[in-house]
Each structure stands twice: as structure tokens, then as C-alpha cells.
Chain A
Amino acid sequence: MSQTTRTNAEPLVEITLRVNGVMRTAAAPARRLLSDFLRHELRLTGTHVGCEHGVCGACTVLVDGMPMRSCLMFAVTAQDHEITTVEGLAPAVEGTGNGTGTYTMSPVQQAFIECHGLQCGFCTPGFLTTITAYLQENPEPTETEAREAISGNLCRCTGYQNIVKSVLRAAEINRERGASA
């Protein structure tokens, strides 16, 4: 065995990102991936890492509203951009995210609950961000379009049936909320 004492690992840089509408600053090595920076420096652990090579889509966040694989981006390169994670999808209200069970839901989140669009929930944040962006672009997808929209993300639990349904239901909730607003 070889053992040393705890020392600082490597030079750190200050990284400032606008995440879910809030300016956040933390020090991290320049090579820190955006996914790891969000999860470990900013402790926004809702973004998950499934493959670290950009294939599974679990780590998808919105960068200036566009879905991006946060495991394929350095945190430093995300500076000056607006990042939205799963934690930022729901309208911010008091009590959100405190673990007490009181949450407000975005239409996509609500649809996933209603349609049983998730099982283990690990890939879900990537689907939620992807679909949120997609519905902005195409608010009234057909079933075929909905399937196409989610076909860049892997899920091992659901067989995608209820995720397709969730996309369609989310579009419907968007319309319902739009009508009542």
C-alpha cells in the first residue's frame, strides 16, 4: 500500500454559470465536465450521468433553451450561457425541492406522473429537459413525432410506451394551462 496526506489536487478556476435563473459561482478544475460541475460543485444532483460519452442522454440539460449533453461539455465553456436543469423546470415556489413532498410541476413533469412515464427515474431528467425544449418547438406533436422526439434518449425500464404518451399528454396540459391562464 502507498498512502499520502491529503493535499490540494490541481489548480482551480472560478466558474460562473447562470443556472435555473440564478448566477452560481464555484471553483473547479478547468477540465471539470458540466455534468460533474452541476452535480458536485453546485450540488444540483437531479442531472444524472448514465454513460459519460453522450449516447444515453440522461445528463441532458438546456443550454440557452437547447437540449445539450452536459457530459460532453466543460463547465468553463458553459459560462455566459443560461443553463436549465430538471430542478429548474417547475415554476419556482416556496417549498419546491426541500424534500417535504410539496412540489409544483411543469406540464412535462405532471404528464410523466399521470402517464407512468418513469420507473427507476434515473434517465427521467434527460427526457424531461429534452421534451420541454421539444414542445416549445412543436407544441402539437403526433404520436410518431413524439416517438421521434425522444428517440435520442435511452431508458431501460419503461419500453418508452408511456414516455410517448407523456409527450402527448404534456402537450395537452400545456394547452389546458395556456387556455386557463
Chain B
Amino acid sequence: MFGAPVQRREDPRLVTGNGRYLDDLGQDALAAAFVRSPYAHARILDIDVTDAIEIPGVIAIYTYEDLDAKTAERLPLLIPHPDLTNPMTGYCLAREVVKHVGEAVVMVVATDRYVAEDACERVKVDYEQLPVVVGLEKSRAAEVLVHAEAPGNVAAHMVQEVGDAAAAIATAPHRLSLSLQIERSASMPMEGRGVYARWDGDEQSIRLYSSTQTSTGVRAAVAAKLGMPLAKVECIAPDVGGGFGVKIVHPWPEEVLIPWAARRLDAEVKWVEDRREHFISSAHERAQLQDVEVGFDDAGRVLGLSVKFWHDNGAYTPYGIITPIITSTQLLGPYKPGAYRCEFFSMYTTTVMVTPYRGAGRPQGVFAMERTMDAIADYLGLDRTDVRSANFIQVEDMPYDHGLLFQDGRPLIYDSGDFPASLAKLKALVGWDDFAAYRTQAEAQGRRVGLGIGCYVEGTGVGPYEGGHIQIETTGRVNVSTGLTSQGQGHQTVFAQIVADELGVPIDDVFVTTGDTRRFGYAVGTFASRAAVMSGNAIALAARNVREKALRIAGEALEVDPGDLEIVEGIVRVKGDSESSIALATVAVLSNPLRYAFDESAKAATQFVGSGNTDLSKPPVAEGEEPGLEGKDFYSPPRATFANGMHAAIVETDPQTAEITILRYCVVHDCGRMINPMIVEGQVHGGVAQGVGGALYERMVYDDAGQLLNASFMDFLMPYASEVPHIETDHLETPSPLNPLGIKGAGEAGCIPVSAVIAGAIEDAEGFPITSMPISPDELWDLRRQHAEGLIPDLRRGSRSVATTTRTTQTTPIA
């Protein structure tokens, strides 16, 4: 099963309308809706709910004043860091001030969502508007502070350095500097967030459903906020309609308020986020300003690299500085940079907060590095792939220690990868060496085409751990559970594949549950391309434990050495003697000594029926054994495992309209051994599509007052099928030496280098540097105008043998 393109076990349910997403549950629950701030920065002077409460069907209206005990305190800082010196989190409902448009101010609970929204419109809130901070330039200027507690609007300042980068750059034969910019986008899952809470007054317990990427995290946070024992709170992530990072944040205000209201009202309460709420109240990502300085030799080898960047973290920092840390470390990609210094400032603005979105800081880091590689190649007149090759970490360098700390607080050490082989595959796939001829042909037709490339390394499968539990029922049904959650990655399939192989059972007998704290209470969550690596390995280890136990019990029953047994299609049998066998279902019966026979098969385990050779001097459950054919195990890696990939694209830019069309998009991807290549390919496709969105279409447009002007699918341009090119893929499988299955994560890969690749291709087509992404046709048109006016330098295009006389570096003022 491992390595086979097995069809997904979840699909029959999902294609027939039998999925159960958050809003499919709790049909009779009360509905909550929120009054949210219409201003980016304001003081709340008064809240008047008298009109609203009159509406028939309104049950309750809550403001900050109603919150009690820990619910009235700030939301937790999930990931503290010594360099995050000025962390700030919000309240469940705004206390005195609001810091971004969309911040929750009042919660209405009603019999029906329509009524709750009616009531929200009738709540009168008086605000005193305060000066706003929109964009990194304004934040850096610090004429207005988002939080008085954060001088200069700086949440965090972090420096990591290996060697003496400044000296290495100063003494290098060649030097370049680049100023780069990347704008905001967002995860934007098709299903927004949602919470449904069932308070059980008899048991004094809460069962909470959340469209979350971490049900164990939500459970612990809600228990803490509500002052309840963990044992009285359960959290389930039902079918989740996409996550892409935004749903790892927890507890969202609504995740605290909905169970809080359910307990208070002794009722079921549900809240389902609408699309506008998702735009203005959840989280965004990506926006950075970057200054790069690089020193290199005649071969393009980087001798010193110094990167300084400013990261827009929005109004709050509950997820700490994970995203900029990832930018600063994963920027290095497959390269040995010589001396490296990275300094970043994580900055407050009065906008929606920034937390990881698929790629989580890597697209920005890869953009910085790959723009730098292209600039070096252009400067030296070398082929862009030759410059990359000159800087590659080689196979014999593995494991390669960068001397930095990664996002998990552990050393940044690459475990494996074959970058030259990946590049060779990519060049073959895209026809790198044939492109010059193609371009000549296209130019003869008056067409403008360009080729771009981007390489990346992605730390996947970060710890601390995940676990797996496997139980074989007396029917032969194999129940598998793991605590992390699913948002469409096909976990019910890939984990079943692993178990089918490890146990020797038909995959149809294996049933996987994820994200249900009733089934498995210890977990971290689904993020950082970690589910297959972490839970996959944990489940494999658990399966090996169960297999060992099954063989032990079967060995006793068959009176043979367990070492002589094998399990095939759910039957334990003596190797080479299929006559001597016992079904795993029967082994499950024998594993649990019984007093009472609940069915025909159970009789075999009752006390007067046991086989004649029972040793009556020993207890029915042997020392060190437990009843039941089940087992559990955990996988906790010493550090992350590093996947990698390389993309190339050919784009065409219209000489008149500046319309940008991707003609070809090629991906070479290495995530170690693939459990299910069909699913890996699907992950890559989806990632590339999001990358294309981030490169050409998606951006969050704030006006000077901090209003998000494009907070709908009408105006925020997510790619349709008409915008995503055909994606050509090839794979390399360099196993990870770090885990038993030799696998690496694949979830985020597709989106990581896309902006870098498309920028490189457009630059190659146009002949002048591209330094800011995303890029729209009107922006490209404007760059052409600036270029024509001499405001933007030519590329030197030495590699194309186009004569130039100027020796300018690629620096472009930031708008």
C-alpha cells in the first residue's frame, strides 16, 4: 500500500453530501453573531443595546463588561520568544479600544443567525477615532503607536549571524544590494472558521466542535479560559473545509466565547464565520520589506549575505514571531551562503493580525534569496542555474548544519537532499537549455517570453511530537486514531495505508479518526507540513507494537514461535504453512480474557472455555500485558526533516497590455518516500495555485484609514481554473534518515517559490528587475513606463549576450 496511488477513503462520503462540516452540526443550536469594529483604531465610548434586545428571538447580548474571570483577560501568547519583547494579544471582546477593523466588540446570541445579525445592526457603539498605522512605512516611521507598550511599533527584533557577514561582503570581489517587497495575502479556506458548543448541565461538561487545525490546543485553551477541568472539556475537529494555516491559531475569541455563552445560557450555541468576517477578523500573511546585501566571487559563489527585513505582524502577535523566524532561516534554501547575517523587525500596524499561511514566511525568504541569485547571475553574465549550482550544498555535505536556530528552537540541520539531481531534473523538464531558441522564435513573432526558476528547502515535520493509537476489534475492524486534525490532506487514506502495510490487514478494515480529543488526547496539530511525518511515523510505531502483541498471542494459540508467524490479509499464519493460522479477529478475542460472552466469537475468551493448556498458576492477564489487541506509540523527532523542490516557469507578457500569462509551470519536488503519490501531487498542485494567486492576483488592499477595500471574493482575486496553468511535475525521493518511514512533509511545498519564479520569468521577459510581488498588468505597465524614463535600470543580460554599457546594481526605490 505504501507508495501506491490509493483512492481516498474519505471521498465517497464527501462527494455524496455526507461530509459533516462545522455548520452541518448543531442544527438546533442558538446562533451567535458579532458586532465588529468599523474603525482601524478607536476608543469605545459607549455601547447601547436597548434597541437590539427588543428584537424577538434575541436571547442575550454580551460586551467586554460581561466577561468574567479568565475570559476577561487577554488571549494567550501562544509562542513566547525572548526576542518578542513587546508581545500583544487581544481580548475576546474589545476592551475600551479597538486596534483593527473587524475586531469583535459585541456578541449577540439569538434563536436564528438572521435575527442575530439584525440585532447586531441595531447595537449602537460610539467610537472616538484614533490615528491609524497602515503599512510598514508608517509603522517604521512610528509617528503613531499601535500599542503604547511597543515603542517604535516594534514587537520583536531578532538577529542571527553565522560568521562575519559584513566583513565577508566588504572583502568580496563583487557586491550587490537589493530592496524587495512582498504584499499581504491570506489562507482563505473555502470554509471559514466556526465553533459549536454543547454544554451538558448534568455532567457540567462541554463538548466543543471547532473548524480548527488543533483540537487538543483548543481544548486546553478553553479549559483554561473557562476554569474547567480538562476532563470536562472535549474538542472535536469535524470535516474541515481547508485550513492553510489560519486555523492553527487558537483560541480565537469565538472559541472561548461560544462555549462560555453555552455554559452561561445552558444551551447549545453555534457561530459560523461569514466571508467578510474571515477577511477582516481572522488573519493574513506575507507582507515584508527586505534589504539584501550580498558579496560574491567571479563564479557567483556567495561569500557573505546580509538580510534585513521588516515584517508586518498586524495588530496582535498571539502566534509569536514564527513567520519571520522561518523567513530568516529558510531564506537560505539549498545554498551555502558563506557568512550570513539576518536581522528582522516584527512591526505592529492597525490591521488584521498576521499568522502563518501555507509556506509561513518561506515564500518571502525564497523571494529574497532567489532574486539575489538572479541578480548575481545577471551581474556576472552567468546562467542562472550555474550560479545556483555554484552555491548548492552537495550530497556529501549532508547532514548540513547552518549554525542557526530553526522555528522549533532546534538547530537548522538539513537531513538529506540531492539538489544537483533536482536541478538536473528540472532543467530537463522545462527544457532550460532549449529556451534561448524558443525565445528567439517567439521574439521573431513579436512575442515577449521569459523563463524563471526558484529553489527552496522546507523544514517539515517539526516536533514536539504526535501519537497514534490502534485497536483491533473482535470483528477484525482496525480503529486508528491520532490527535492531529485533517483539512483535506487525505489522512484517513494515508494513515490507513501505513497501518494496512504494518499490520498486514486489508485497507478496507482500517478506520482512521483524527482531531477528536475523545479518542486521542495528546497532540500538537496540523501545520508545518508535519502530519504525515509526525502522525504517520507514530501510527507506524503503534502498529508495530500491536503486530508484536498479535504475534505473541497467536504464537501461544498456535503453539509456535511468534518469529515464525506472518500476518497476511488479516490472518496470522505460520510462514510457509497457510494451514496453521488464526484470524486477527480471533486474536483480538483471545487478547481480552472475559467472564461474559457478549457474542458467539467472545465465547472463546471466557473463563471455562480457554484452551486446555492454560497455565492456571498464572493470572489471566500476564504480567506486563494489558487486555485488548491495541497499542499506542509516539513519535518525537530530534529536529525537523527538510524537503526541497525547484520550480521553473515560462511566462509571456503582452507588449501592449502588459498582461502576464504563464505558459508553462514545472515542478520538481522531493519529499522523501511518498506514501501516496496521487495525494502528494494534489498537494503540490494546490500549493502552486495558491502561489500563482500570491504572485499575480491576491493582495489585501487597505486604504489610508485602515479599511480593507477588497474584503470579498468579488474583489480579492483568488485564482479560478482559468488563472492556474497546467502544472507539470516530477519527483525525486531522497529518504529522510530521521524517521522510521523515511518521509518528509509535502503540504506547503507547492506555494513556496512561486512568487520568486514568476518574478524571475517576468524580469527575463522584460529586461528590467522585478522587486515587488504580487504584480498586476497595470503595475507591470507602470514599471515599463518607469524603465523607459530611465528610473529603473536595464538588466545587464550578460547571459543573453545583450550588450550593455552601464554597471548598475539592482536597486529599486520602494513605492
0 or 1 for each of A86-108: is its CB under 8 Å from B? (1 = yes) = 11011000001101010101000
0 or 1 for each of B479-491: is its CB under 8 Å from A? (1 = yes) = 0000000011110
Q: Is the Cβ of B726 less than 8 Å from the Cβ of A161?
A: yes
Q: Say which one of B50-58, B285-293, B319-327, B734-742 lies at the interface with A.
A: B50-58
0 or 1 for each of A52-63: is its CB under 8 Å from B? (1 = yes) = 110110100000
- Complex CA gap A112/B17 in Å reads 13
Within 8 A of A (CB), among B92-135: 110-112, 114-115
Asked whether any CB of chain B lies closer than 8 Å to the CB of A16, the reply is no
0 or 1 for each of A109-148: is its CB under 8 Å from B? (1 = yes) = 1001110101111111100100000000000000000011
Secondary structure dominating the interface of A: loop
Q: Is the Cβ of B679 less than 8 Å from the Cβ of A118?
A: no
Q: Is the Cβ of A7 less than 8 Å from the Cβ of B689?
A: no
Q: Is the Cβ of A156 less than 8 Å from the Cβ of B690?
A: yes
Asked whether any CB of chain B lies closer than 8 Å to the CB of A9, the reply is yes
Q: Is the Cβ of B18 less than 8 Å from the Cβ of A154?
A: no
Option from A32, A55, A97, A151 in Cβ contact (under 8 Å) with B712: A55
Q: Is the Cβ of A2 less than 8 Å from the Cβ of B61?
A: yes
- Complex CA gap A75/B687 in Å reads 37
- Complex CA gap A89/B488 in Å reads 22
If A29-B114, A51-B275 touch, whether A118 touches B721 (CB-CB below 8 Å) is no
Number of residues of chain B lying within 8 A (CB) of chain A:
74
List residues of chain A with CB within 8 A of the CB of B682.
116, 119, 157-158, 162
List residues of chain B with CB within 8 A of the CB of A116.
7-8, 678-679, 681-682
0 or 1 for each of B7-30: is its CB under 8 Å from A? (1 = yes) = 110111111111111011001000
Q: Is the Cβ of A157 less than 8 Å from the Cβ of B242?
A: yes
Q: Is the Cβ of B190 less than 8 Å from the Cβ of A156?
A: yes
If A46-B19, A121-B19, A156-B188 touch, whether A151 touches B240 (CB-CB below 8 Å) is no
Asked whether any CB of chain A lies closer than 8 Å to the CB of B767, the reply is no
Task: Give the most central of A43, A99, A112, A119: most B CB within 10 Å.
Answer: A119
If A119-B682, A120-B240, A159-B750 touch, whether A97 touches B18 (CB-CB below 8 Å) is yes
Q: Is the Cβ of B685 less than 8 Å from the Cβ of A121?
A: no
Asked whether any CB of chain B lies closer than 8 Å to the CB of A8, the reply is yes
Within 8 A of A (CB), among B216-248: 239-242, 244
Task: Give the most central of A51, A118, A160: most B CB within 10 Å.
Answer: A160
- Complex CA gap A116/B60 in Å reads 45
Asked whether any CB of chain A lies closer than 8 Å to the CB of B582, the reply is no
If A153-B720, A154-B720 touch, whether A9 touches B56 (CB-CB below 8 Å) is yes
Asked whether any CB of chain A lies closer than 8 Å to the CB of B390, the reply is no
- Complex CA gap A122/B496 in Å reads 22
The residue in chain A whose Cβ has the minimal distance to the Cβ of B688 is A159
Q: Is the Cβ of A10 less than 8 Å from the Cβ of B16?
A: no
Asked whether any CB of chain A lies closer than 8 Å to the CB of B643, the reply is no
List residues of chain A with CB within 8 A of the CB of B712.
51, 53, 55
**Range of interface residues on A (Cβ < 8 Å):** 35 or more
Option from A6, A48, A86, A159 in Cβ contact (under 8 Å) with B21: A48
Asked whether any CB of chain B lies closer than 8 Å to the CB of A175, the reply is no
Task: Give the most central of A90, A153, A155: most B CB within 10 Å.
Answer: A155
Q: Is the Cβ of A56 less than 8 Å from the Cβ of B190?
A: yes
Q: Is the Cβ of A97 less than 8 Å from the Cβ of B16?
A: yes
Asked whether any CB of chain A lies closer than 8 Å to the CB of B191, the reply is yes
CB distance from B508 to the nearest CB of A (A): 9
Asked whether any CB of chain A lies closer than 8 Å to the CB of B504, the reply is no
- Complex CA gap A89/B726 in Å reads 29
If A49-B23, A114-B7, A159-B724 touch, whether A120 touches B488 (CB-CB below 8 Å) is yes
Q: Is the Cβ of B679 less than 8 Å from the Cβ of A7?
A: no
- Complex CA gap A148/B723 in Å reads 11
- Complex CA gap A46/B13 in Å reads 10
The residue in chain A whose Cβ has the minimal distance to the Cβ of B679 is A116
0 or 1 for each of A1-24: is its CB under 8 Å from B? (1 = yes) = 111101111100000000000000
List residues of chain A with CB within 8 A of the CB of B727.
159, 161
- Complex CA gap A1/B275 in Å reads 27
Asked whether any CB of chain A lies closer than 8 Å to the CB of B617, the reply is no
Asked whether any CB of chain A lies closer than 8 Å to the CB of B189, the reply is yes
Q: List B residues at the A interface (Cβ < 8 Å).
A: 7-8, 10-21, 23-24, 27, 49-50, 52-53, 55-63, 65-66, 110-112, 114-115, 188-191, 239-242, 244, 265, 274-275, 487-490, 678-679, 681-682, 685-690, 712-714, 718, 720-722, 724, 726-727, 750
5 contacts between A and B (CB under 8 A): A53-B713, A121-B239, A122-B19, A159-B727, A161-B724
- In addition to A99-B13, A156-B689, 4 A-B residue pairs with Cβ atoms within 8 Å of each other are A2-B61, A39-B23, A46-B19, A124-B14
